[in-house]
Amino acid sequence: MLLKLNKRDRFGSTAVLVLAVALLACGQDSSMRKSADLHPGGATAEPGGPVLDLVKAWTTALNRRPLSVEAFYHADAVLLWPGREVSPGSREIERYLQDALADVTSFSYQSQSRGVEEHFAWENGRFVVAFADPSAAQAGSILRVLQLDADGNWRIVREAWNFLTLEEGEGLRPQRR
């Protein structure tokens, strides 16, 4: 099993996500662009935009072995993982995820919302991880903050994972709009 959390740990991981969302919301003003289809400066992009492109590529990378995700993270990125303190930095995050997801047979991710403001963006979604033993499946949410680097590439600077209880047979379901 990837991670087993008691009630106290579940509360703590939920609190981390609530705090991150609150901090992001505090910095918003009425002029903030809420569309995920914007490049910095407001130019319209393809549906989903570059942030969604990065998330799709990151999801694909999590399903490959050997797992290689360092390039998606800023050199000083921080991973917030329930019950664990992960050293900052893209290399340490990659090493940690290689170990934590070593027994995963598939990783599914569905982005739920995104936003862009100047050189920063945020994105959150829901994941399901599967193992050879179907009863060991895990689900949860990820909230990430991204920053546009000097080369014009989006990099993850903060990422928080929150694990939820997955009921038997539950998986990602398409969102109703």
Give the start-end residues of each E strand in the chain. 73-81, 84-85, 104-117, 120-131, 138-148, 154-164
Q: What whole-number distance in Å separates Cα of residue 74 and Cα of residue 148? A: 10
Q: Does some domain include residue 169?
A: no
In a domain, residue 57? The reply is: yes
Query: What rounded mean pLDDT belongs to the chain?
Result: 76
* CATH number, residue 19: 3.10.450.50
Task: Examine residue 104 and state whether it is found in any structural domain, yes or no.
Answer: yes
Bridge-based pairing of strands 120-131 and 138-148 is antiparallel
Answer whether residue 71 is part of any domain.
yes
Per the CB < 8 A criterion, the answer to whether 164 and 139 are in contact is yes
CA-CA-CA-CA dihedral for 30, 34, 40, 41, to nearest 10 = -50
The CA dihedral of 94, 96, 97, 100, to the nearest 10 degrees, is 160
Taking residues 41-46, report their average pLDDT. 38
- Region of poorest pLDDT, from 29-38, 73-82, 145-154, 168-177: 29-38
Give me 17's structure tokens: 């996500």
Cis bond leading into 82, ω under 30°? no
Q: Tell me the residue range of the domain where 79 lies.
A: 7-25+48-164
Give percent above pLDDT 90 in the chain. 55
Kindly report which listed range (69-83, 125-139, 158-172) carries the lowest average pLDDT score. Answer: 158-172
Q: Is the pLDDT reported for residue 36 higher than 50?
A: no
pLDDT over threshold 70, residue 175: no
Q: What is the pTM of this model?
A: 0.70
What is the pLDDT at residue 134? 85
Give one DSSP letter per residue of 122-134, joined into a string: EEEEEEEEEESSG
Low-confidence winner among 6-20, 134-148, 150-164 (lowest mean pLDDT): 6-20
Residue 175 included in any domain: no
Number of domains in the chain: 1
What are the start-end ranges of the H helices in 63-147?
90-100
